[in-house]
Amino acid sequence: MTFDLEFSWANGCPSATGNIRAEVAHFKVFEQSIDATGSGEHAYLRICKKETNTHWVAEKIAEVAGVDVKDVGFGGRKDRYSVSEQAFTCYLPGRSDPDWSRLDGPEVKVLKVDRTQKKLRKGDLWGNAFEICLTQVSNRLDDRLQSMVNASVPNYFGEQRFGQYCRNLSAAQELVKRPHGRFHSRDMILSAMRAYLFNLYLSNYIDTHRGCSRDLNAMGPLYGRSRDPQGGEAELSDELQLWVTTLRQLRLKAGVRKLWLLPLEFDWHRDDNNYLLRFTLPPGSYATSVLREVLRYKDERRGG
């Protein structure tokens, strides 16, 4: 099976091209974290990471503290190819903090140390603010950007969910053949499967609802165990219906996800053929889903 990531655009395919992440500092993420309570059994660290993934930082925190990585919490994974600020917790019952400066290095900088009462878990954040530089833009983007102020965009899962060159989706094909076999990063593969199926549903929804007003409360399916068939299931190819069957065999719980995303505090600044965009998104949303509505970009770090 070949995988097409050219999902439908809300306002048609953008005419402009350009680059993102010409430098890693061109893609900045500022987590709007839940504040520390000031006391408790969990250390609370606000950290700036550069060109490394969130789980690697969690492992380094566990190493410095001498705890299992499961005792380290965070609200969400931040893009590896970025400069990102986010909060972590580390469970230290009855213990004082270790020397957190041991974390500091080229990839990590500790910005703040505090104490809090609960472990941070997935989704424990208010949102993420982004500051993204677009370079070598072929055409003026001002009209396209102006049309996006206070407007919604499709809430697609970002291409990073699918792995470089769709590696996670290719692995999904093997998992469907051997659903109870041993796979490295099984959870990541299953997540990619659901994300791809959701994106296909949303792409088809956009095509069949052109000219209609957008219902910001409309939901799409995250396929899994369900008493009744889920939306769009009958329109899937035979191969992709096997994906849904596999997700149910593996007892993933069915869910839903909003079809539309409303970027907040959206503004920009132009400098010749470069643009600096700033906006804020709720948890679970992808900046690249906003960018793809602006221009057809080349990601200099991901090679796509």
Does residue 13 sit within a domain? no
Clarify whether residues 193 and 55 are in a common domain. no
Amino acid identity for residue 236 in this structure? L
Q: Which residues of 190-199 are buried (b: 16+ CB within 10 A; e: fewer)?
A: bbbbbbbbbb
pTM of the shown model: 0.92
Of 4, 35, 71, 79, catalytic:
79
237 has pLDDT over 80: yes
- Using a pLDDT cut of 90, give the percent of the chain over it: 90
Q: Over the chain, what is the mean pLDDT? A: 95
55 plus 142 within the same structural domain: yes
Count of beta carbons in the 10 Å neighbourhood of residue 39: 10
Whether residues 104 and 166 fall in one domain: no
Is 234 within a domain? yes
How much is the pLDDT for 227?
84
**Residue pLDDT, tens place only, 160-200:** 899 888 999 999 999 999 998 888 889 999 999 999 999 99
Instruction: Identify the CATH number of the domain in which residue 96 sits.
Output: 3.30.2350.20
- Averaged pLDDT for residues 143-148: 93
Given a cut of 80, is residue 303 above it in pLDDT?
no
Instruction: Please tell me the total count of domains within the chain.
Output: 2
Pairing of strands 108-116, 264-271: unpaired
Q: Tell me the residue range of the domain where 253 lies.
A: 155-261
Give just the sign of the alpha carbon dihedral 53, 56, 60, 65.
positive
Same domain? For 106 and 38 the reply is: yes
Residues 72 and 128 in one domain: yes
288 in the same domain as 161 = no
CATH code of the domain covering residue 166: 3.30.2340
79 is catalytic: yes
The answer to whether position 4 is within a domain reads: no
* Whether residue 99 sits in one domain with residue 30: yes
Average pLDDT in the 13-37 region? Answer: 96
Read off the pLDDT of each residue in 83-106 and give the average, rounded to a whole number.
97
